[in-house]
Chain A
Amino acid sequence: MKDLGTSSMVTIILAVLALLGAQAALWLSYFYAPVQITAGALFVVSPTPGVNTLNLYESYRIFFIHLPSAYATALCCGLCLVGGVMHLLSRSEKWDALTVSASEVGLLAGAITLLTGSFWADYAWGTGRIGSGWNWEPRLTTMLILWLAFAALLALRGAMPNVQARMKLTAVYGILVAPLYPLVQKAIEIGQVSHPRSFSDLLSAPEIGTTKQVATLGLLLAFGAAVALRYSANRLSFQLQKERAA
């Protein structure tokens, strides 16, 4: 249980840093990053050169949450891969706990990515009606699928009665889910390209770049703290189950 104490310390440190980072990101995104004043002059999105440009006004501020959440989803995919591979190599339950924690937080980060993206897209790409911005573009669709894959990974835990079989299948599924994120990145290259390729395609003011970096750091720390917290809880839960069974 010694490493559980260490992970609790890591959780507390990460949580404090995440709180500070999130506060800084919030302040910067509202008081430091500028507003588009002249239509079409400062912040415009041009998905394809020569095609209609779109004024972002205040709406772009949602990207300071959307983008770090997408990064966190990617990192959770990576953690699932690491947890899966390490569990199959070592058979240690701590790697199983890491895969489960990463998929739980990935589910949350993926939901935030999808929701913030949809809120923005309903106005930017759609008519303002809920769901009007959802255009089944490859990156949107694949992100939704990734979110469903995290949900499926958690669902399988309840259906496998044998603990060892459950851990092995969780590890294997974590490894299978991991390549989905690079494929999300690849999917943008094909089909429609209404989704911006990167943040820099959209916005060029230096204040926005700084805010983006602080927001990314702050939110990644917050998601990192959530993974650490869930990791400790999952390991404690496993210890309890073992003690009850003994």
Chain B
Amino acid sequence: MSPNAPSALVAFKTLLRRELLVELRTRSLMTSMGLFALLEVVVVGLGVRALPSDETFHRFVPAVLWVCVLFAAVVGVNRSALADREKGLHGAFLLLPFDPALIYLARLSSAFVFLSMVEVLLVAAAVPLLRFQIPQEPWMLAVVALTNIGVLAPGVLLASATSSARGSEALLTILLLPVVVVVFLGAVGATDALSAGLGLAGAKPYLLLLCICGAMFPALGLLLYGRLHEA
């Protein structure tokens, strides 16, 4: 690394600022992720419109919303990686005098911000369209944050590697879903327990699973991103 290289914090801030500025100007990620998530809610809403609004229905809706989040995340990370690949920025980033792990961290952080915004939009649409009852437990915020990290951490890593492959969109989905389904299992279980009023005690095993994934996947991403892209 060059002796004039900026500190890790400065490099991270610069990279994150770049990611957020690009999205602020183009709005391409939020548009595709948001529209995709909304379309999923509408399609599901059409499918379940005749179902009675009973307890089973209310337990079913959060699981559907987590599916929407999962697929919106896949669309987001793939589109972001493809955009960089098309502009030839991917190789250029790796020439910067930073640890490649910082590039990964900045990508993960920006994707976290965008996915969180999509989730707000998704909940706003699901309340009237799917009769979704927002869980009032504050622990739900931890579930959302851990799920986002658990899904995006392997997503950003794999998307950067598959963007040059044939049929990268399909390949990323095939690769990512088996890895993050454990996160999905934890998210649905924790949401179900918190919605049913079981509190932290009921959601604890699922939260533990989410914590394991939320710590393990970003750690693996930080370790492997540089290895994956070194010449």
Residues of A within 8 A of B (CB): 88, 138, 141-142, 145-146, 148-149, 152-153, 155-156, 159-162, 165, 168-169, 172-173, 175-177, 179-180, 183, 186-187, 189-191
Contact = CB atoms under 8 A, between A and B. Distances in A.
B170 to A, nearest CB: 8
B167 A172 contact: no
Contact of A186 (B154, B177, B209): B209
B223 to A, nearest CB: 9
B165 A172 contact: no
Interface string B161-203: 1101111100100110111011001000100000000000000
A149 B168 CA distance: 17
30 contacts: A142-B185, A145-B178, A145-B181, A145-B182, A149-B178, A156-B162, A156-B174, A156-B175, A159-B166, A159-B167, A159-B171, A161-B165, A161-B166, A162-B164, A165-B164, A169-B158, A169-B161, A169-B162, A169-B228, A172-B161, A172-B227, A175-B220, A176-B157, A176-B179, A179-B216, A180-B179, A183-B212, A186-B209, A190-B189, A190-B205
A50 to B, nearest CB: 21
A169 B165 CA distance: 11
A205 B3 CA distance: 69
B12 interface: no
Contacts of B165: 156, 159-161
* Consensus secondary structure, chain A interface: helix
A187 B184 CA distance: 12
A141 B175 contact: no
Contacts, number: 86
Given A168-B228, A183-B212, A152 B174 contact: yes
A110 to B, nearest CB: 11
**Do most interface residues of chain B lie in helix, strand or loop, or is the interface mixed?**
helix
A195 to B, nearest CB: 14
B175 A173 contact: yes
B182 A156 contact: no
B157 A172 contact: yes
B206 interface: yes
A176 B158 CA distance: 10
A149 to B, nearest CB: 4
Given A141-B185, A152-B174, A190 B206 contact: yes
Given A149-B179, A172-B158, A176-B220, 8 more contacts: A156-B165, A156-B174, A159-B167, A160-B165, A162-B164, A165-B161, A187-B209, A190-B206
Given A165-B164, A176-B154, A190-B205, A146 B178 contact: yes
Contact of A155 (B174, B185, B216, B220): B174
B141 interface: no
B209 A190 contact: yes
B224 interface: yes
A142 B213 CA distance: 14
B224 A172 contact: yes
Contacts of A169: 158, 161-162, 228
